[in-house]
Amino acid sequence: MIKVAMTGVYVDDVARAHAFYTGVLGFETRQRVDLGDGTTFVTVGAPDGAQPDLQLLLEPGEGPIAEPYRRALYESGLPCIVFSVDDLGAEYARLRGLGVRFTHRPQEQGPVLAAVFDDTVGNLVQLVQPRR
């Protein structure tokens, strides 16, 4: 069986991304390795043992491939990643209370309720909750 082990998100600033994804979104640090050239390899994941083998790599977003890709997604209003939540209304309220800027309020989108926010490091992120 093949499973997803890691996926990446290009970010403007790895340290700021790490602070946002852990301090605001509530992820936990899985790996943080100084690569010695001023670059840090950082992964985060869901807390409390949920999805223990799945990591999100916070990748530097500069460069001839990453920067145009990231900018095009953002300018098109497309999220770079989708996270699931159990209660979108509660998570929306919690994040708004922490100052997170949403570009789309919670709304029905086919089989899910969805909202989109700015992760402060160059990306839009979508939250979804399956409709019951």
**Residue whose structure tokens are 């399956």:** 130
Fold of 6-130: 2,3-Dihydroxybiphenyl 1,2-Dioxygenase; domain 1 (3.10.180)
- pTM tops 0.85, yes or no: yes
> What residue segments make up the domains of the chain, in order of their start?
6-130
Structure tokens at 123: 């990306």
pLDDT, tens digit, for every residue of 2-60?
A: 999 999 999 999 999 999 999 999 999 999 999 888 888 999 999 988 888 899 999 99
pLDDT, tens digit, for every residue of 54-88?
A: 999 999 988 899 999 999 999 999 999 999 999 99
Is 67 exposed, middle or buried, given 0-12, 13-18 or 19+ CB atoms closer than 10 A?
A: middle
**Residue whose structure tokens are 């301090």:** 23
